[in-house]
Structure 1
Amino acid sequence: MFQFFNTTKLEFPVAETTINELINLFIQRHSCTIEFIEIVLVDEIEIRRINSEYLKRDYITDIISFHYHEESESVDSLNRTCLEGTIYCCLPRIIEQSRELNVKLHTECLRILVHGLLHIFGFDDSTEQQKKIMTMEEDAIIQQIILE
């Protein structure tokens, strides 16, 4: 279902069993299946390189998601039935972000993973309204994981 790679020397605070629970919850909540999800933890240099090379943005970000879609499937379509993609997470940036936001690192890592899954599912956060919808969905999924 998913593969996890940590290319940094930092420890990821979310257990793989919790990631699996998160993915299963996402599947149930969105009535979809997951063909394959790859989660790759990278440093600032690598996330900036990926951001620059593939998205033409020259800055460090917390997460970049790529959906591997069929030629006939719209990249922007919501409600995909089968998800397949890669989520690149910049762990040093996520650590910094959790401090800035004064939230537990574990919670911020969960939020980033949900955010990546939502992007692969078809959610966008280009506008304030889209960001609001995405944040509400992130909050709902994270609350459900924390309560379990």
Structure 2
Amino acid sequence: MPADVLVDIQIASESSELPSQADLHKWAAAAIGDHRQEAEISLRIVDLKEGAELNQQWRQKEGPTNVLSFPSDLPEELNLPLLGDLVICSPVVEREAREQNKTLQAHWAHMMVHGTLHLLGYDHIEEDEALTMESLETAILQSLGFPDPYQLEKRGS
């Protein structure tokens, strides 16, 4: 685990089913692992309207998505721990958990790990990148006591 992980959490969602700040921090720290000695993430939890606006503005895609990642673009010589910003859309996470027959806690953990890995530079555009990222996500989530988040897709369900 990194020596020091800070997750600055902003809640702009009316959801009553949000994970605890301690869990969000634990999941981010697990994803960071040995990648960094210090890390700082800004996390904003939003509802559908803001999620859709941000997805349109930054990805030119209509409607909200589960997680948006904005890696910091600081020059290396600054040597600051800022990894970047995450935006998670609570209603999308809740809907996906139901659709995928996952616990809400497991899906929140997955979204936090997934977004944090994006901040660390992982991606899933190319198939080999996707396999690497999915394997890492699975290992991290299983180390936290959660099942393989891709289990249903691997079975073809």
The two structures have a TM-score, normalised by structure 1, of 0.83
Task: State how many pairs are aligned.
Answer: 139
Equivalence map 1:66-145=2 (5 Å)? 66-71=70-75, 82-145=81-144
Residue 45 of structure 1 deviates from its aligned partner by 1.4
User: Higher RCO, 1 or 2 (CA under 8 Å, sep at least 6)?
Assistant: 1
Alignment of 1:14-33 (within 5 A): 14-33=19-38
TM superposition shift of 1:134: 1.4
Query: 1:40 aligned to 2:44?
Result: yes
User: 134-143 vs 15-24, which deviates more?
Assistant: 15-24
Amino acid at match of 2:112: L
Which secondary structure does the structure 1 equivalent of 2:132 belong to? Answer: helix
**Runs of 4+ with >6 A deviation:** none
Evaluate the alpha carbon distance shift between residue 48 and residue 37 of structure 1 in structure 2; reply closer, same or farther with a 3 A threshold. same
Q: Distance in 1 between matches of 2:138 and 2:85?
A: 22
Unaligned runs of 5+ in 2: 1-5, 147-157
Deviation at 1:12, TM superposition (A): 4.2
Instruction: Name the CA distance, whole Å, in 1 between partners of 2:26 and 2:57.
Output: 32
Residues 30 and 113 in structure 2, CA contact (< 8 A), matched pair in contact too: no
Indicate the RMSD between aligned Cα atoms, in angstroms: 2.1
Shift in Å, 1:116: 0.5
The verdict on how the C-alpha distance between 1:118 and 1:11 changes in structure 2, with shifts beyond 3 A counting, is same
Q: Distance in 2 between matches of 1:87 and 1:23?
A: 11
Give the % identical residues. Answer: 23
Secondary structure of the 2:145 match is: helix
Q: Give deviations 1:47-71, integer Å, cap 9, x for gaps.
A: 1111111222223211101011224
Check whether the contact 1:27–1:33 (CA below 8 A) recurs between aligned residues: no
Instruction: Give ranges in structure 1 of 5+ residues lacking alignment.
Output: 74-80
Kindly indicate whether the alpha-carbon contact (under 8 Å) linking 1:42 and 1:90 is maintained by their aligned counterparts in 2: yes
- Residue 7 of structure 2 corresponds to residue 2 of structure 1: yes
